[in-house]
Structure 1
Amino acid sequence: MEITFYKYQGTGNDFVLADNRRNHCSRLTEEQIKHICDRRFGIGADGFMLLNEKEGYDFEMVYYNADGWEGSMCGNGGRCIVKFANDLGIKKNRYVFLATDGPHEATLEGDAVSLKMKDVEGIRKYKTDSVLNTGSPHYVQLEPDVMSLDVVKEGQRIRYSKEYTDEGINVNFVQVKEDGSLIVRTYERGVENETYSCGTGVTAAALVFHHNDNGFNSIDIETIGGKLNVRYHRELDGSFNNIWLKGPALQVFKGTINITGHD
């Protein structure tokens, strides 16, 4: 079967997207999605997404990791699918869509997409590091010189430790710069490698290294693939709400691919 696909990237975090409003991609298998995301034998991407019709919403986002398994929330993927919806002709001042972790809002200004993330109840300390869920589970570790770190080696060590080997966890290494901004590098489960950027990961890093004890915060974050901004409100009880992830989302190219083994 021939499928029309669209390739998008958000700060180097790249995705293959398909317009599935007619359900023609609903029966893709794990192996077929894995093949699509393969950088040698397929299109190549960190993840695969379907844009579905959903009553009461502008659309539904269904996200698959590069290993072919349906994944948890992807922040950069959420931003890219909003730009995709706009490019398909779904024009809105404010988008409301459904993802695996619930409803999300988003706005679009040029190529910059602001995505509202789920509220976060709090941060759990693990040894000297932090663990939290920003739509996906994240481990956050402070590093004095993050650009010299072997992220794959250190990320695998934590991701495949006995605490996290079964369900997996995304591992973020964070350097705090003198001006208070952050540099974040992330090892992503499902991709099982470092990605150029991770939206839920930079969100997690921002919440861990907040500027103010309580109230409004806004933090600029540098990733290998580009710059993002996270703004949010921290409550007295240590919870976080009104969390917004902002950054560019761009279409790279459009094409068709023949999927073997598909009805």
Structure 2
Amino acid sequence: MEITFYKYQGTGNDFVVIDNRDLSFPRENTKLVNFLCDRRFGIGADGLMLLNPSDTYDFTMVYYNSDGTESSMCGNGGRCLVAFAHKLEIFKNETTFDAVDGLHYASYQDGITNLQMIDVDTVEVYKTHCFLNTGSPHHVQLVENIGNYNVKNNGSEIRYGAPYFKEGTNVNFVESIGEGAFRVRTYERGVEDETLACGTGVTAVAIAMFEQKQTTNTKIPLKVEGGELEVSFTPTKNGYKDVFLKGPATFVFKGTINYNE
């Protein structure tokens, strides 16, 4: 089997992207997805996305973790898929597409994607952390000296521990860097390691920091290991709406790869 693919990255969060409008990709083949994402034997990526057709909207996003499992929403992946759809001339400036967590609106201009995320109804605040779902589940925890923090070890303990257990959660460690800005490092389930960025993660961090009164800003710059992102939102009595994730989405290269089971 010969597969044509595109490689994209959003602040270092990298993805294999496939134009699947003809629905030819064997969607249930987890071994194939895992192979394509493998950094030694395949292409290498944090995840894989299919751009599928939609009966109602511009396209449908299907996202897989690098371990081959079909997963919940990926914010940086969504931003990259929007850039890919723009490259394919599916839309000009604005688009609406389906994803596993519902409908998303996005705009794209000069390499920057501004992606609307789902509304957030509930933020669970505890003494040591917050928990919320921004399309994917996220544990958010303030730490000190984040640059030297052991994200992989501490993140994996939280990801598999109580109360998350088998289903697990993504884990975000955050530190204020002044003037309403924050630095974020994320351990992602499915990747089972730290990634250079996580879109749903920084979205969760921004809302959690506002909820915990660590900032009064509703447009929050966030520094991740792979660059900078911005999250904006509107607080309401019933949660947060008009949630947007903004940042660069970059085409890296196009190629073909052969797969034999």
Q: TM-score per shorter chain, which class?
A: over 0.9
1:135 aligns with 2:119: no
Equivalent pair of 1:215/1:233 in contact (CA under 8 Å): no
TM-fit CA distance, 1:259: 1.6
Corresponding residue number in structure 2 for 1:255: 255
Corresponding residue number in structure 2 for 1:31: 31
**RMSD between aligned residues:** 1.6
SS of residue matched to 2:191? coil
Residue-by-residue CA offset, 1:139-176 (whole Å, 9 max, x unaligned) = 00001211110100110110111321210100000001
TM-score (norm: length of structure 2):
0.96
Whole-Å separation in 2 of the counterparts to 1:215 and 1:206: 11
Whole-Å separation in 1 of the counterparts to 2:24 and 2:259: 12
Higher mean C-alpha deviation, range 209-218 or range 109-118? 209-218
Corresponding residue number in structure 1 for 2:236: 235
What is the 5 A alignment of 1:1-263? 1-27=1-27, 29-210=29-210, 217-237=218-238, 239-261=239-261
TM-fit CA distance, 1:89: 1.6
Equivalent pair of 2:210/2:216 in contact (CA under 8 Å): no
Residue-by-residue CA offset, 1:100-150 (whole Å, 9 max, x unaligned) = 000000000110000000000021123421000000000000012111101
Percent identity over paired residues: 52
TM-score (norm: length of structure 1):
0.95
Whole-Å separation in 1 of the counterparts to 2:53 and 2:222: 33
Q: What letter matches 1:41 in structure 2?
A: F
Equivalenced residues, count: 260
Q: What letter matches 2:224 in structure 1?
A: T
Equivalent pair of 2:210/2:217 in contact (CA under 8 Å): no
Higher mean C-alpha deviation, range 214-223 or range 55-64? 214-223
Equivalent pair of 2:52/2:59 in contact (CA under 8 Å): yes
Residue-by-residue CA offset, 1:56-83 (whole Å, 9 max, x unaligned) = 1100000000010000000000000000
Whole-Å separation in 1 of the counterparts to 2:18 and 2:31: 17
Q: What letter matches 2:207 in structure 1?
A: L
Whole-Å separation in 2 of the counterparts to 1:111 and 1:94: 13
| Gap runs ≥5 in structure 1 | none
| Gap runs ≥5 in structure 2 | none
SS of residue matched to 1:209? helix
Runs of at least 4 residues of structure 1 off by over 4 A?
A: 211-216
TM-fit CA distance, 1:91: 2.4
